Amino acid sequence: MKLSFPRRRRRPAFTLVELLVVIAIIGLLAGLAMPNMQYGILKAQSVKCSENLHGIGIAVLSYATDNSDILPEINQAAAPVYPPSVPGIVGVLGSYGVSTNTIQCPVDMASGATSSFQQYGSSYEWNPVLDDGTDPVTSIPLGPIQVDVNASRIRVCTDFVPIHRGKMNALYGDGHTKAR
């Protein structure tokens, strides 16, 4: 007795050309997605910078609450305004939760050896000014005089340079941050 088994059909496999076409399509899609991924990374770093400034803002508000609603005197290496005995941001606001990590902008740190943090010890410039809503150059510097003004108009801390797609993140006296 002779047994016969049904023949299996051979399944067609991918040809080399089909495989190369699929790889090319995947490469094209990855190439189209790459700029969006870079934008997403930069946006996330900018948000982290705003979070850092917000943390500094909470510390400033806590300091002001403890000191009769007076903003702290903070020196910076870029342009010391106060006597050398007045410490920097971490020295003044350290007891309120500000650390070296808080004063480092991730975009500034990614910029390399010429970063503001490496030059001045902080990615942020402490410079309380009355913001009139226009160009930062036309802002009115606050001095030793007492000014009765809405805290949301006092810009207390900013990035040193516009590193967030041509803008600088700024911290205002009421604790909110804004890209300018």
CA separation for the pair 175, 62 (Å, rounded): 10
**Predicted local confidence at residue 71, as pLDDT:** 80
Domain assignment of residue 10, yes or no: no
> Total domain count for the chain?
1
Q: Given the structure tokens 């003004």, which residue do they identify?
A: 149
The 10s digit of each residue's pLDDT in 53-98 is 999 999 988 988 898 877 888 887 666 777 778 888 888 888 998 8
Domain assignment of residue 174, yes or no: yes
Residue range of the domain that includes 174: 16-179
The 10s digit of each residue's pLDDT in 147-168 is 566 777 788 888 888 888 888 8
pTM over 0.95: no
- Reported as type and span, the H/E element at residue 64 is helix 16-66
Domain assignment of residue 11, yes or no: no
**Predicted local confidence at residue 180, as pLDDT:** 81
